[in-house]
Amino acid sequence: MTQLAPFLIEPQFVKRIWGYRDLRPWFDKVASEQPIGEVWLTGDACVVASGPQKGMTLASLFALHAAAMLGADAASSDSPLLVKMLFAREKLSVQVHPDDQLAQKFGEPRGKTECWYALAAQPGAEVALGLKPATTLDAIEQGARNGTLEEWLEMVPIATGDMVYVDAGTVHAIWPGSVLLETQQNSDLTYRLYDYGRGRELHVAKSLQAVKFKTAAGKVAPKVLADRTVLLDAQYFRIERIEGSGRKTSAELRRHNGPGLAYLFAAAGSGRIAGDGFEDVPLPARGIIAVPATAPEFVLDDTGGLELIRIVPNRPGQK
């Protein structure tokens, strides 16, 4: 099996009507035309930015080296997770994502369960998450068509450091006031119920099939361990905040999960990965490094105020 060293990934800036033109200080990026709402950190079209595979897209790399990236027992050659940052200047659409079963009914490989980690939140920031008791499909359909759907949404306040789980089937929306790190199944399936008159396509009929009135969505309490805080451990992904500064070995980082793909995201500060047989890999603020399943041993050095988030896909049977 091919051994792949850790590598940096180039972010992809995605235009969204509800986003910002100026992403500073998070990124040194000012859009010349349409606003940017999402920064995809592990999208299929994102490009490897360091090492021998530099210039390859993630989709190509996974297709060519699935076992090396994911492990010999990988069930699929697809990249399992899409990690991105969300910058909402305006309200996003009120939407719902299908689960795997419904997505496959419509010819898609998988549904979309996701989570949001609040990197920053202004006072009073909130998100819409789920439906109020006694809401019916008729009420949702009428609200979507006459603009009153917000009346049926449960609003949840959000503060910096909060983790919110959004399983497939949950009606939801993101309001302005926060910067979110979103981890999701590698799918961009979104069914819009209501879009505030922006003129984009709505998917009311499909949405009504996808809606679940009882879901596991909500804030998740962190689980504090000696060397890390587990922010979420769910069906498709595990998100950890690695505590403490200084040097950490690859064995220490993967202590609670074993071998497999991992992503290391710098929420703040910077770091550097070094190991035998490959060039050092810098980890800038808001950068993300992929650590393949076959990566050689390495050390991660904190080069200044590093706040590290570790993201791993959960395999079948793990959760």
Catalytic positions are 192
φ and ψ of 207, to 5 deg: -60, -45
Dmax (CA) of the chain: 62
**Quick one: how many helices (H) and strands (E) in the chain?**
6, 22
Cα distance between residue 61 and residue 77, in whole Å = 10
* Rounded distance between C-alpha atoms, residue 69 and residue 182, angstroms: 21
Q: How far apart are CA 125 and CA 177, in angstroms?
A: 5
Distance (Å) of CA 280 to CA 13, 48, 107, 214, 272: 25, 15, 42, 47, 7
Supply the Cα-derived Rg of the chain in whole angstroms.
20
What SS3 class is residue 48? strand
